[in-house]
Amino acid sequence: MKINPRSGLASLPRPGDPGYRLRRSVRALREALEANQTKAIQKYFKGLAPADVGDILRKLDQPELAQALPLVADDQRTEVFVYLPMSLQLQHVRTLNRRESSDLFNGMPADERADLFMRLTEEEQQRLLPALAQAEREDIRRLTAHKEGTAGAVMTSEYASLKADQSVEEALLELRRVAPDRETIYTSYVVDDNRRLIGVTSLRDLILAEPHARVRDVMESRIVRAKVNDTQRAAARKIAKYDLHALPIVDDDETIVGIVTADDAMDVAARESTATMHKGSAVGELKESLLESPVTELFKKRVFWLVVLVVGNLFSAEIIENFEDLIATNVILVSFMPLLVDSGGNAGSQSATLAVRALGTGEIEVSDWLKILIKDLSVSFLLAMSMAVAVALVGYWRGDIIIAGIVSLTMVFVVVLGSIIGMMLPFIFTRFNLDPASASGPMITSLIDAMGVFIYFGVASQILTMYQGGL
Amino acid sequence: MKINPRSGLASLPRPGDPGYRLRRSVRALREALEANQTKAIQKYFKGLAPADVGDILRKLDQPELAQALPLVADDQRTEVFVYLPMSLQLQHVRTLNRRESSDLFNGMPADERADLFMRLTEEEQQRLLPALAQAEREDIRRLTAHKEGTAGAVMTSEYASLKADQSVEEALLELRRVAPDRETIYTSYVVDDNRRLIGVTSLRDLILAEPHARVRDVMESRIVRAKVNDTQRAAARKIAKYDLHALPIVDDDETIVGIVTADDAMDVAARESTATMHKGSAVGELKESLLESPVTELFKKRVFWLVVLVVGNLFSAEIIENFEDLIATNVILVSFMPLLVDSGGNAGSQSATLAVRALGTGEIEVSDWLKILIKDLSVSFLLAMSMAVAVALVGYWRGDIIIAGIVSLTMVFVVVLGSIIGMMLPFIFTRFNLDPASASGPMITSLIDAMGVFIYFGVASQILTMYQGGL
């Protein structure tokens, strides 16, 4: 369908409507930008949610973006901007003059601002800082002080705080006053004179309370909080577990230093899941999305483990060489090798994935290892027996009764051992403070492969010797 | 450390405090239950968040649970109960008499109530229904009408609605009035006389508005919503993308029928990630957690694919048999087989995981396939060259220059083809409305294994024939 550039944008379906195609909207926007239809573009943007404008703008090149972003309504521009991928945010900031970039930074939410600031070169940071207001400078300094991956590094300083002695009426007035600058006012944090966190209260409870009651009587003093150095994953888990809108972050003195909001926790949880999946297939952690990662980055994140695994597979090669004579006289054994070895690897990677995910979500803990081991022994034994039956039939059909015995016996060993290794390695990794996700997938496959090859030819040579080379 | 049963519970560390051990709390609670220390237990529960009480209670046996649950404070009991795993909820409900169970059901949040109701046998449902209030009966009927996996099946009917003509002051009074029965009052939904959704407003905006302004002037009419039959995943994605507290769910007439809240969306997203990971290792979807799934359930969810993969691996066996003579005269070829075949499988499973996850989060769409294919061609070619060099050295060291040529050439083909198959299969699956996650891991490994074996011995026989059996 060809879009008429005059009426193009106005007649496009909106996101959520049937027939909406991002690709088509991007093309129409490009045409409109080229034709300088500022009014039409402004109107089009106004009809969309900031995230949808962001989806379109992220597909543009830098010069187009510089042209389009100022056409977003003032009250939505920052929201659209922070929705863009970091690389595009950086490119854009670098095209701005000092005045424009200080305006942008002053308007941004505290957490996103700190993230962007950290990506600037030291020189750019030094140039920008004097242009920012004192409060913003201080804020950036505090928020960027925390190590990547900690709760401190994702928190925002824009929370609402109350005093325990305030009346509910005063508290509501106060929240109304600060609402425009706060990430959330639905949860507020009650602090003492040293800003130590002593309670939490929700706007719902404040609204339902008597106006003359004290905040102290309404607040919940059983506080769920995280320390500034806790991991982001731990903070996100707490938000999910306790169904919070926001989690307060405190330092060692229980002084509140920020909050992590539920929407940030959702992003953290999604990033963690992605990293776990990637690690499970031996892909390193990507800084950007698949689409936005350059080829060299993808290559780097993949080649390391692949080459390590080549080295790991040399063990299998070594073992096979030791059985060369056996193989030369019983070539049929080779045809069962992929099947037997893969079955161990598959059972192992099933187990590893189950363990890694359950440990990752906190559903099981390291101390549950024995319970899980016993359960896996039962499960893998049942699996091994079923598969042994299947492979015995194949062995008899393609070879003879002796081959059937060799392959089914091997199958039992390989599946049970493979499954147990897969189930236990993530526990061992966690116990030694390594990421359990690194223990899944290809690494386990290589390990079990070598083991499987050894068991297979070991069993075969024992049995065939017993039967004096009965083939 | 031995807990003194008299002072045991009171002296225990709380969750979040250093030294807290769930295991120890469970043991102390068991001892206290045995010693009938109801007062101490009540006090202990009061000091904990409902989710933490739930963590402890889920470790108890049914009779202990029946003893402990009534000791939870009235205003927290339902929250604790719905935090328990479904199997335990069911067991518990079945011990209650009609009066007790109708009390429980009447008090539960609408969405959790519908979930539990669905798990009862038809007979139990028929016995319970007359004991429930008319409104609750109707509500259950409506909420249980939706297919599992749809937005309708996770939504709750407890949302707050407003009229466009109301003043902001009236709206705030109304929200205050309904707050105790609503899942959230932070977002309210503006409906016309037919309950068609015409706007959305936040409590923040209402508080900031002039009291005499109309809701119509405050509300956002650009509504992000999902249809009742949309998938849960799509609904959860919208909540994450637009940073919503809750997503309104409408039927085909745009009539609002419920909302999905952000905390439910977080649970949905976590469940989806778990299912994707499990499928990626050929494990079927588990209804309960790893710890709570019985052995038979785990066996069933794992055996199917393992046996399918055995059948799949027969292709490899078939191919190998066709090259028996080649292998018998060149046994050294066998020792490189696991290495070459695994490398293709590993590269393929890396690609598959990248594609599955990016498709799963909505970060890429099916229409991006060409862009991704081109990128993967570059990446996999670089990977293949690096690995070919590594394996050529090994081949020369263990064999000769001809072996080095065979294995490095095979490596290039296997890695590039493996990677591309892994990257494209998830797109093809998605295109045909199959879950792309089923295309990752073991299935791809088996496919690439067979292909790898064929390429390897094909290349080897070509080259060795050229050199007249040069080994």
Which tens digits make up the pLDDT trace of A192-218?
999 999 999 999 999 999 999 999 999
Whether the predicted pLDDT of B117 surpasses 50: yes
How many whole angstroms separate alpha carbon A174 and alpha carbon A172?
5
Q: Residue A5 — pLDDT band, cuts 50, 70, 90?
A: very low
Say what the pLDDT of residue A302 is: 86
Distances (CA, A) of B217 to B165, B245, B246: 9, 21, 21
Chain A residues 119-148 with a CB less than 8 Å from chain B: none
What are the structural domains, with CATH classification, of chain B? Answer: 8-149 (1.25.60.10), 160-280 (3.10.580.10), 295-466 (1.10.357.20)
* pLDDT, mean of residues B215-220: 95
Does A449 contact B338 at a Cβ distance shorter than 8 Å? yes
Which has the minimum average pLDDT: A304-313, B238-247, B319-328?
A304-313
Q: What is the pLDDT of residues B31-46, one digit of tens each?
A: 999 999 999 999 999 9
Alpha helix stretches (DSSP H) within A203-331: 203-208, 215-218, 232-241, 262-280, 295-322, 324-329
From the CA of A310, how many Å to the nearest CA of chain B? 6
A270 CB neighbours in chain B (<8 A) are 240, 269, 273, 361
How many whole angstroms separate alpha carbon A383 and alpha carbon A392?
14
Say what the pLDDT of residue B42 is: 94
Does B240 contact A445 at a Cβ distance shorter than 8 Å? no
Does A372 contact B291 at a Cβ distance shorter than 8 Å? yes
From the CA of A130, how many Å to the nearest CA of chain B? 33
Say what the pLDDT of residue A275 is: 87
Burial class (CB in 10 A: 0-12, 13-18, 19+), B163: middle
Cβ atoms of B246 and B259 closer than 8 Å: yes
The torsion of the CA quartet B249, B253, B254, B257, rounded to 10 degrees, works out to -30
Whether the predicted pLDDT of B468 surpasses 60: no
Say what the pLDDT of residue A244 is: 93
Partner B contacted by A361 (CB < 8 A): yes
Does A398 contact B317 at a Cβ distance shorter than 8 Å? yes
> Among A14, A56, A158, A243, which would you mutate to test the B interface (most chain B Cβ atoms within 10 Å of its Cβ)?
A243
Distances (CA, A) of B281 to A349, B166, B294: 6, 55, 19
Say what the pLDDT of residue A2 is: 47
Does A342 contact B186 at a Cβ distance shorter than 8 Å? no
Strand extents, DSSP E, A119-204: 160-163, 187-191, 197-202
Phi then psi for residue A213, to 5 deg, are -65, 160
Partner A contacted by B80 (CB < 8 A): no
How many whole angstroms separate alpha carbon A302 and alpha carbon A320?
27
User: What is the value of pTM for the model shown?
Assistant: 0.84
B363 CB neighbours in chain A (<8 A) are 289-291
B172: three-class secondary structure by DSSP: helix
Distances (CA, A) of B245 to A235, A257, B215: 18, 24, 19
CB contacts < 8 A (A, B): 345
- Partner residue opposite A207 with nearest CB, options B179, B378, B445: B179
Say what the pLDDT of residue A216 is: 96
What totals of helices (H) and strands (E) does chain A contain, helices first? 22, 6
Partner B contacted by A367 (CB < 8 A): yes
List the one residue out of A412, A352, A403 whose CA is nearest residue A383. A412
Partner B contacted by A298 (CB < 8 A): yes
Q: Residue A440 — pLDDT band, cuts 50, 70, 90?
A: low
Single-letter amino acid, residue B396: Y
How many whole angstroms separate alpha carbon A180 and alpha carbon B437?
43
Q: What is the pLDDT of residues A20-78, one digit of tens each?
A: 888 889 999 999 999 999 999 999 999 899 999 999 999 898 899 999 999 999 889 99
How many whole angstroms separate alpha carbon B439 and alpha carbon B423?
10
List the one residue out of B116, B281, B63 whose CA is nearest residue A441. B281
> Looking at chain B, which residue has its C-alpha nearest residue A330?
B328
A231: three-class secondary structure by DSSP: strand
Q: What is the pLDDT of residues B53-74, one digit of tens each?
A: 999 999 898 899 999 999 999 8
In the predicted model, what is the mean pLDDT of chain A? Answer: 89
What ipTM does this complex have? Answer: 0.83
Distances (CA, A) of A137 to A118, A125, A140, A227: 13, 11, 5, 23
